[in-house]
Chains A and B, each alone.
Chain A
Amino acid sequence: DAKTTQPPSMDCAEGRAANLPCNHSTISGNEYVYWYRQIHSQGPQYIIHGLKNNETNEMASLIITEDRKSSTLILPHATLRDTAVYYCIVRGNTGTASKLTFGTGTRLQVTL
């Protein structure tokens, strides 16, 4: 699976959009970008994933650049409960779901 690079920490004011970047310059054509978050040492929670088109669900939006070498997770209206470590993971969509490679992620602090 391709390696990813994320900033170690970010701050965001409550109610504002949080934009979390991820670089994955060695991504292969059949690899997806997945995002998980971990709130206060709980088990990681799935947020969203995509291949090459932008994706949106009830939690977040995922913007993937046209060359697929980077992506941005967007939390449109961050709340204090979004304070967490966010992990960007690149993997194939079959056969590797059991073998996730976690980096150190981005620690997002949402403040009043």
Chain B
Amino acid sequence: NAGVTQTPKFQVLKTGQSMTLQCAQDMNHEYMSWYRQDPGMGLRLIHYSVGAGITDQGEVPNGYNVSRSTTEDFPLRLLSAAPSQTSVYFCASSYVSGEAFFGQGTRLTVV
């Protein structure tokens, strides 16, 4: 039981490049979410999903796309990376009620 697994752990992108951050959970959780954390700040919600095939926007969705084709996976796509997207990205999963479980994060730098 690995919990929530994020890959890669570190990534450097050039401005304009695209990439996908991967998130997988093995707890059969219905809910999954993506957050970003900028230095000295709390986490902010990017996108979330309440089940396979269902996604919605959070507080800061611009520049990111998501899809949820399976219960286990919830990838986050950066369409055209910008320096403002330099951040630490966390994926989380949970049941409908109860606590959320977080991955260890992906540290992204856009130059």
Contacts and interface: CB of A to CB of B under 8 A. Distances in A.
Contacts, number: 68
A93 B97 contact: yes
A4 B44 CA distance: 15
A101 B4 CA distance: 20
Given A44-B90, A103-B42, A104-B42, A98 B31 contact: yes
B45 to A, nearest CB: 6
A96 to B, nearest CB: 9
Q: Is the interface of B mostly helix, strand, loop or mixed?
A: strand
A29 interface: no
B94 interface: yes
Contacts of A49: 99
Contact of A98 (B41, B48, B105): B48
B19 to A, nearest CB: 20
Contacts of A87: 42
B111 interface: no
Most buried by B among A45, A46, A49, A98: A98
Contacts of B82: none
Nearest to A107: B40
A94 B96 CA distance: 6
A10 interface: no
18 contacts: A36-B100, A41-B88, A42-B105, A44-B43, A44-B102, A46-B101, A93-B97, A93-B98, A95-B96, A97-B95, A97-B96, A97-B99, A98-B100, A99-B45, A99-B48, A99-B58, A100-B35, A100-B100
